[in-house]
């Protein structure tokens, strides 16, 4: 843990994000259902969960790309919902996002120079910043060359496009970067290069990451703390090493068992989850995981477990660990 990690950079206070279903029958989709947490400055906070668990919606809420239905987000001590005008723009500079698919988030009709110019145009900073020099600096930071500036996105490889996405996120010198499945669309070898780059940039620029992935293995590689999400809720939250040594929640155990590992007998054990992920518009009663849990009991079907501390900094929402 670095010295910076004593300061809270992000505080999410009882965040709920609900969406109306397409029709009356589909009901309300509870994408994020009452999440509170703090992210420390200089930390990489990893979030893992299956597709549709609400992790991306929650990440977008932290940088104000998604308005919460209720609850508050504080970034660098300021309530992001209250900000307007100049203060709002300042806050937007502090929190940036890297998206999953670099091909989809770069305008195909603009050159890389024009794409990297955009943040300075949007924030009216072309007079106060030497934009050309800053763009060259950004290229160097992400390992691209000057000749890439005249290229269009389709002329770059997947890894190069993601480097452009990272450079764009860095342009306004943010404090927090939400990495939303930032390496999921890349080949495994390129994934490793981009993960290394993110790690180098974090150290060099004192960044804080909110790192989202469906892949627990990837989250393990980069995170200081890891939260496991299931149907809009955090079911386990712990420092990386604590979670690696001891998974309490049956869902985390199943996710971890999906990472290929050979035990001392030379065998790989995998816990296969039965059934589909239930719809977030009609989640199961009690513990949302009870329809797929191998350790379910009667109480789980009616009573939702609270997130409780089971060892220092290690929180779990499961009746197996209620005192
Ligand atoms: Fe399984 Fe019950 Fe724990 Fe939910 S509360 S994870 S159903 S044991």
Q: Are residues 190 and 280 in the same domain?
A: yes
Q: Are residues 38 and 168 in the same domain?
A: no
Q: Are residues 123 and 260 in the same domain?
A: no
Is the C-beta atom of 305 inside 6 A of ligand 1?
Answer: yes
Which pTM was predicted?
A: 0.91
Separation of alpha carbons 169 and 76, rounded Å: 18
Is the C-beta atom of 295 inside 6 A of ligand 1?
Answer: yes
Find out whether 255 and 74 touch, Cβ atoms under 8 Å: no
CA of residue 36 to ligand 1 center, whole Å: 21
Nearest residue CA, atom 5 of ligand 1?
Answer: 318
Strands 8-20 and 208-213: unpaired
Total domains, the chain: 2
Separation of alpha carbons 203 and 42, rounded Å: 8
Confirm whether 256 is domain-assigned. yes
Q: Are residues 161 and 191 in the same domain?
A: no
Confirm whether 101 is domain-assigned. no
CB within 8 Å of 322: residues ≥ 6 apart: 305, 308
Q: Are residues 35 and 123 in the same domain?
A: no
Is the C-beta atom of 314 inside 6 A of ligand 1?
Answer: no
Q: What is the DSSP letter of 66?
A: S
CA of residue 161 to ligand 1 center, whole Å: 42
Q: Are residues 225 and 243 in the same domain?
A: yes
Q: How far is CA 174 from CA 63, 164, 170, in A?
A: 11, 16, 6
Q: Are residues 169 and 183 in the same domain?
A: no
Atom of ligand 1 nearest to the CA of 288: 4
**Containing structural domain, residue 149:** 106-173
Where do we find the tokens 């997947």?
Answer: 158
Find out whether 95 and 75 touch, Cβ atoms under 8 Å: yes
CB within 8 Å of 104: residues ≥ 6 apart: none
Q: How many CA atoms lie within 13 A of 249 on its CB side?
A: 32
Confirm whether 160 is domain-assigned. yes
Q: What is the DSSP letter of 301?
A: G
Cα of first residue to Cα of last residue in the chain, in angstroms, is 30
CA of residue 320 to ligand 1 center, whole Å: 7
Is the C-beta atom of 273 inside 6 A of ligand 1?
Answer: no
Is the C-beta atom of 289 inside 6 A of ligand 1?
Answer: yes
Q: Are residues 83 and 138 in the same domain?
A: no
Q: Are residues 145 and 239 in the same domain?
A: no
Domain-ending residue, one of 134, 149, 173: 173
The structure tokens listed for 311 are 């060892």
Is the C-beta atom of 290 inside 6 A of ligand 1?
Answer: yes
Confirm whether 1 is domain-assigned. no
Confirm whether 58 is domain-assigned. yes
Nearest residue CA, atom 3 of ligand 1?
Answer: 318
Is the C-beta atom of 250 inside 6 A of ligand 1?
Answer: yes
CA 61 vs. chain centroid, Å, equals: 11
Separation of alpha carbons 71 and 14, rounded Å: 5
CA of residue 19 to ligand 1 center, whole Å: 26
Separation of alpha carbons 243 and 167, rounded Å: 32
Is the C-beta atom of 230 inside 6 A of ligand 1?
Answer: no
Mutate which of 297, 304, 310 for ligand 1 pocket (most atoms within 8 A of beta carbon): 297
Confirm whether 286 is domain-assigned. yes
Q: Are residues 302 and 190 in the same domain?
A: yes
Confirm whether 265 is domain-assigned. yes
Domain-ending residue, one of 123, 143, 173: 173
Confirm whether 297 is domain-assigned. yes
Is the C-beta atom of 287 inside 6 A of ligand 1?
Answer: yes
CATH number, domain containing residue 222: 3.40.50.300
CA of residue 243 to ligand 1 center, whole Å: 18
Per-residue pLDDT of the chain (323 residues; tens, 9 = 90+): 454 557 999 999 999 999 987 776 778 899 999 999 999 999 999 999 988 899 999 999 999 999 999 999 999 999 988 888 888 888 999 999 999 888 888 999 999 999 999 999 999 888 888 999 999 999 999 999 999 999 999 999 999 999 999 999 999 999 999 999 988 888 888 999 999 999 999 999 999 999 999 888 889 889 999 999 999 999 999 999 999 889 899 999 988 877 666 555 545 566 677 777 788 888 899 999 999 998 999 999 999 999 999 999 999 999 999 86
Mutate which of 293, 303, 321, 322 for ligand 1 pocket (most atoms within 8 A of beta carbon): 293
Give the H or E element holding residue 79: strand 78-79
Separation of alpha carbons 126 and 134, rounded Å: 11
Separation of alpha carbons 53 and 231, rounded Å: 4
Q: Given CA atoms 40, 42, 47, 52 in this order, what sign does their dihedral have?
A: positive
Domain-ending residue, one of 173, 195, 220: 173
Separation of alpha carbons 214 and 247, rounded Å: 17
Q: Are residues 182 and 90 in the same domain?
A: yes
Torsion of CA 134, 136, 137, 138, to 10 degrees: 90
What 3 state SS string does 309-323 have? EEECCEEECCHHHCC
Where do we find the tokens 């849990």?
Answer: 293
Q: Are residues 128 and 254 in the same domain?
A: no
């Amino acid at each position: 843990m670095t010295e910076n990690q004593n300061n809270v950079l992000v505080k999410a206070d009882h965040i709920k994000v609900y969406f109306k279903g397409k029709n009356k029958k589909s009901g309300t989709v509870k994408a994020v259902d009452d999440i509170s947490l703090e992210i420390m400055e200089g930390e990489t906070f990893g979030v893992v969960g299956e597709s549709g668990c609400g992790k991306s919606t929650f990440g977008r809420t932290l940088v104000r790309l998604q308005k919460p239905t209720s609850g508050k987000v504080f970034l660098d001590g300021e309530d992001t919902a209250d900000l307007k005008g100049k203060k709002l723009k300042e806050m937007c500079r502090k929190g940036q996002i890297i998206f999953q698919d670099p091909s989809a988030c770069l305008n195909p009709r603009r050159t890389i120079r024009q794409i990297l110019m955009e943040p300075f145009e949007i924030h009216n900073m072309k007079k106060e910043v030497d934009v050309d020099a800053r763009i060259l600096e950004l290229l160097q930071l992400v390992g691209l060359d000057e000749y890439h500036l005249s290229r269009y996105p389709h002329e770059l490889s997947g890894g190069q496009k993601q480097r452009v996405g990272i450079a764009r996120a860095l342009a306004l010198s943010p404090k927090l970067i939400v990495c939303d499945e930032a390496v999921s669309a890349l080949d495994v070898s390129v994934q490793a290069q981009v993960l290394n780059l993110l790690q180098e940039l974090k150290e060099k620029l004192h960044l804080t990451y909110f790192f989202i992935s469906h892949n627990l293995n990837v989250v393990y590689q980069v995170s200081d703390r890891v939260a496991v999400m299931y149907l809009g809720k955090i079911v386990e939250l712990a420092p990386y090493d604590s979670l690696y040594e001891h998974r309490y929640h049956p869902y985390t155990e199943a996710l971890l068992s999906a990472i290929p590992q050979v035990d001392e007998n030379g065998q790989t054990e995998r816990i296969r989850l039965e059934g589909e992920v239930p719809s977030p518009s009609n989640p199961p009663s009690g513990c949302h995981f009870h329809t797929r849990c191998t350790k379910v009991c009667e109480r789980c079907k009616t009573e939702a477990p609270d997130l409780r501390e089971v060892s220092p900094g290690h929180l779990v929402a499961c009746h197996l660990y209620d005192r």
